[in-house]
Amino acid sequence: MTRRAVLAGTGSALPRTRVSNAELAERVDTSDEWIVERTGIRFRHIAEPDETTATLGADAAREALKAAGLSPADIGLIIVATATPDNTFPATATKVQALLGAPDCIAFDVAAVCSGFLYAVSVADSMLRTGAAEHALVIGSETFSRILDWEDRTTCVLFGDGAGAVVLSAKDVADDQGILATRLHAEGQYCDMLYVDGGPSTTGTVGHVRMQGREVFRHAVTNLANVLGEVLADVGLKAEDIDWVVPHQANKRIIDATAKKLGLPADHVVLTVDQHANTSAASVPLALDLAVRDGRIKRGDLVVLEAMGGGFTWGAAVLRV
């Protein structure tokens, strides 16, 4: 038996307003055909003014706590992965803590953009195994609509808002249970390929998303296939051992190309990009929650999570749920 971080519950939350490609095409020079063909996206949810990264994160967290049969008072660690915090400070995790009514615990944010949830899971895994807490809330929550340039059709059609959360619990389990391995990477020399052109220390503004789409696409397929290979090798497993891949939902073509490179059948890949678009750090936990709730992912399944984002940063995790 080994002390490991085990998935105890999942949850998610989406803003009330859902926007189709056709609705978007009324205000942006684009079309449903172009968006579907290049990305697989059909809908995205857009936050109303009263819906923020903290409120969406707290809603997702409540669902995850319910699924785990725990209350806010049981939580010793809250990590929010986000690139769109409610405020520059304090950490959105502390706002989520307040909204949940959780007492004194560890709470902080992780900034790794679209791979933020993988970074947060890896940090929580380490902290749970070394005894910093018994139960952790790991949340990916974003309101990317607030940092999109709605005049730039090359980026604004790609993103959406939402939140996903998991409860990870420290347990003494067999060696093949819980989070088995995580791998993280960053290559800062590519930080200009996907970034926000503002910030407190530079422009003093919030800024907007800027991206060299083709370059991001090329790096994403290579990096994601490599990191999936690494994390599987770490635990002595092969692509055919995987029950479900829950990929970052940036673009269906990236997901398909990565799966093909690894020889993964498409019906073992959870796909939500058509419904949610790219929700950055929220995309993996949102997709995970959906597949758990609709019964695709079951107890005992071997699940692989992966994501890549601005920085570039990327990572993967393999777990037995």
Return the SS3 of 177: coil
DSSP character string of 182-228: EEEEE-GGGTTSEEES--TTTTSS---EEE-HHHHHHHHHHHHHHHH
Asked if residue 153 binds ligand COA (CB under 6 A), the reply is yes
Q: Tell me how far apart the alpha carbons of residues 241 and 173 are, in angstroms, rounded to a whole number.
A: 20
User: In the 8-state DSSP scheme, what is residue 311?
Assistant: T
Query: Contacting ligand COA (CB under 6 A), which of 19, 20, 23, 38?
Result: 38
Asked if residue 250 binds ligand COA (CB under 6 A), the reply is yes
> Which residue, 185 or 293, is less far from ligand COA as judged by CB?
185
Asked if residue 150 binds ligand COA (CB under 6 A), the reply is no
Per-residue contact flags (x/-) with ligand COA for residues 179 to 218, judged by CB under 6 A: --------------------------------x-xx-xx-
The residues annotated with a catalytic role in the active site are 114, 248, 278
How far, in whole angstroms, is CA 308 from its chain's centroid?
10
Longest Cα–Cα distance of the chain, Å, equals 58
Q: Which residue is nearest to ligand COA (CB)?
A: 213
User: In the 8-state DSSP scheme, what is residue 4?
Assistant: E
Asked if residue 154 binds ligand COA (CB under 6 A), the reply is yes
Per-residue contact flags (x/-) with ligand COA for residues 226 to 245, judged by CB under 6 A: --------------------
> Which residue, 25 or 237, is less far from ligand COA as judged by CB?
25
Q: Are 306 and 247 in contact (CB under 8 A)?
A: yes
Q: Are 64 and 10 in contact (CB under 8 A)?
A: yes
Q: Tell me how far apart the alpha carbons of residues 120 and 255 are, in angstroms, rounded to a whole number.
A: 22
Asked if residue 43 binds ligand COA (CB under 6 A), the reply is no
CB of 212 to ligand COA, least distance (A): 8
Q: Bridge partners of 6?
A: 169
Amino acid at 150: W
Among 237, 242, 252, 257, smallest CA distance to 287 is for 252
| Among 57-65, 84-92, 250-258, 287-295, the segment contacting ligand COA (CB under 6 A) | 250-258
Q: Tell me how far apart the alpha carbons of residues 51 and 279 are, in angstroms, rounded to a whole number.
A: 15
> Which residue, 53 or 55, is less far from ligand COA as judged by CB?
53
Query: Contacting ligand COA (CB under 6 A), which of 157, 181, 297, 316?
Result: 157
Residues lying near ligand COA in the complex (CB under 6 A): 30, 34, 38-39, 114, 153-154, 157, 211, 213-214, 216-217, 250-251, 254, 278, 308-309
